[in-house]
Amino acid sequence: MGFKYLSNFKVSNSKKSNKVVCLRPENDFKEFGAVAPPHFSVVYLSPDDTSLIQKASDAEVLLIPAVGPKIPNDFFRRTSVKMVQVTGAGIDRVDFDFCTQNNIKVCNVLGASARSVAEYCLFSALAISRRLIRTTDEIASGNYAEIRGNIIKDRMHSLSGLTLGVMGFGSIGQETAKIFSAMGCRIQYYDPSSPKVEQSLASIAEEVGKEVLLRSSDIISVHVPLLEQTFNLISEQELSMMKDTSILLNASRGGVVNENALAQAIQNKKIKGAAVDVFSSEPPEKNNPLLNLPNECRENLVLTPHIGGITVQSWAELFSRSWINIQRFFDGKKLEDQQI
């Protein structure tokens, strides 16, 4: 399997053997034609390998997926790692303060999965608004006429003319805005970090306050990192401000939306429905309230196992750009997407 941009992957002619410890399977990279440069010394290990620290003691770089358990600070104390490269957007697997204090560079890959996540959000909004979630089971059970009649009676609305509110207007939030705008949605966003807005969106996306966005949006799509200030960004108070016809989409991080509050809002019909691709713990515990809603609530609920950004195209780009950035680290060049 090949991709045009992978053929342009160039590294320096350095003969130095540079050690990288990678906590994802080598086959992931081989499958997408994004293998490590031959002059890298890469050790592929499982996160629960009991000899992880020993094998990583002389490594300079740690390469990790965005999803997984927290990397303990003791790992860095007992190894030579000075760069963490994440094959994704989330960087919540490391202790920000510790890495900053110890001059450990942390980089992610911004934008590579933006289109895939935006497509996921669009599909989820359509699945909920058009009541597509349970139709297959209903038809297979012989309820064709009943489900068709109920859907017609429900007076479904197309996306055209609705207002999309985007919380977090980075690369993924802006890509989501573009794809919904193409469907005829009005776009507004809230992001206190004052992100740089693409020129194509500057004239159509309106920046508003958090409360205005919550009260006036028909669909709210959340795209913020999990930080101390974004934990429970959407909880009972925020959900109470939303329209009872609104849809909430969370493809960012689980801790950003309070799951108990969301389950209550769905069950009490405070909002129309939600799509949840991320959970506070993954996989979610059996007692997670979103897994235990009554059947009648599930037709407006999309639950997926953190796959919003997983497509062939996005993974190939994530992997290749990660190797390129690691090469930049070894060459002493400015790093791409450095967050710490």
Containing structural domain, residue 34: 4-110+311-330
- What is the tens place of the pLDDT at every residue in 239-298? 999 999 999 999 999 999 999 999 999 999 999 999 999 999 999 999 999 999 998 898
338 occurs within a structural domain: no
234 occurs within a structural domain: yes
Q: Are residues 175 and 248 in the same domain?
A: yes
Per-residue model confidence (pLDDT) at position 95: 95
Q: In total, how many domains does the chain have?
A: 2
Question: What is the helix (H) or strand (E) element at residue 55, kind and residue range?
Answer: helix 52-56
90 occurs within a structural domain: yes
Mean pLDDT, the chain, whole residue set = 92
Residue 10 has pLDDT above 80, yes or no: no
Residue 4 has pLDDT above 80, yes or no: no
Mean pLDDT of 44-62: 92
Q: Are residues 233 and 322 in the same domain?
A: no
Per-residue model confidence (pLDDT) at position 9: 46
Q: Are residues 14 and 132 in the same domain?
A: no
Q: Are residues 102 and 124 in the same domain?
A: no
Q: Are residues 47 and 83 in the same domain?
A: yes
Closest CA to 109 of 284, 289, 320, 264: 320
Predicted TM-score (pTM) of the model is 0.88
Q: Are residues 98 and 83 in the same domain?
A: yes
Rounded to whole angstroms, how far apart are CA atoms 121 and 124? Answer: 5
Rounded to whole angstroms, how far apart are CA atoms 113 and 315? Answer: 8
Give the CATH number of the domain where residue 159 resides: 3.40.50.720
Q: Are residues 129 and 239 in the same domain?
A: yes
Per-residue model confidence (pLDDT) at position 17: 53
Look at 147-156, 189-198, 204-213, 315-324 and tell me which has the smallest mean pLDDT.
147-156
pLDDT confidence tier of residue 93, bands split at 50, 70 and 90: very high
339 occurs within a structural domain: no
For the annotated catalytic residues, the residue numbers are 253, 282, 306
Sheet holding 301-303, edge to edge: 205-207, 186-190, 163-167, 219-222, 247-250, 273-276, 301-303
Q: Are residues 148 and 119 in the same domain?
A: yes
Give 109's contacts (C-beta < 8 A, 6+ positions apart): 86, 87, 88, 89, 317, 318, 321, 322, 325, 337
Q: Are residues 138 and 279 in the same domain?
A: yes
Q: Would you give the distance in Å from CA 33 to the centre of its chain?
A: 23
337 occurs within a structural domain: no
